[in-house]
Each structure stands twice: as C-alpha cells, then as structure tokens.
Amino acid sequence: MKAKEELKELKLKSVSELQRLLAASREKMRDLKFKVSQNQLKNIREIRQIRKKISRILTILKEKQASISNAKKTENKISN
C-alpha cells in the first residue's frame, strides 16, 4: 500500500518539484553506492527502494510531458 500512496503523492507534484526530487534521489543513490563500496551501509535494500523511487519519478515526468505535448498537438489541429 505504501507504494500506491507514494505514487499518488508524486502525481500531484508539479514538474519542477519532480525534477528537484529526482535530483535529490539520484544524489542519495550516489551516496548509498559509496557507502556500499566502503562497507558502511547496513541496509542494502535501501538502494532498491531509491532505484524504484527514481523510476517512478521518471515515469510520471514522461507522462506529464507526453500529456503536455498531446495538448499542444490538439491545440494546433483545432487552430488550423
């Protein structure tokens, strides 16, 4: 259930908020990979969770960009 709630919250965010969240998540992923290489990370599953979060954010960004481009295409068809 947690993933569905997170997905709903992500869909409500704007594109700029999603891009900031994406940058922060990628930074966290980089830090986690460094910790793994130094044997400092105890919860390896956290990497998987961050990777899935990044993919969710990217998916929602693509959907929003596709809907914007579709709206522009239909607007152009109507005006012509």
Question: What tens-digit pLDDT sequence spans the chain (80 residues)?
Answer: 577 888 899 999 999 999 999 999 999 999 999 999 999 988 999 999 999 999 999 999 999 988 888 777 777 777 76
Where b means 16+ CB within 10 Å and e means fewer, 22-35 reads beebeeebeebeeb
User: What integer pLDDT is reported at residue 61 of this predicted model?
Assistant: 95
For the chain, the domains span 14-79
Residue 34 in tokens: 């460094």
Residue 78 pLDDT: 76
> What is the model's pTM?
0.82
Q: Closest by alpha carbon to 19, among 73, 61, 59? A: 61
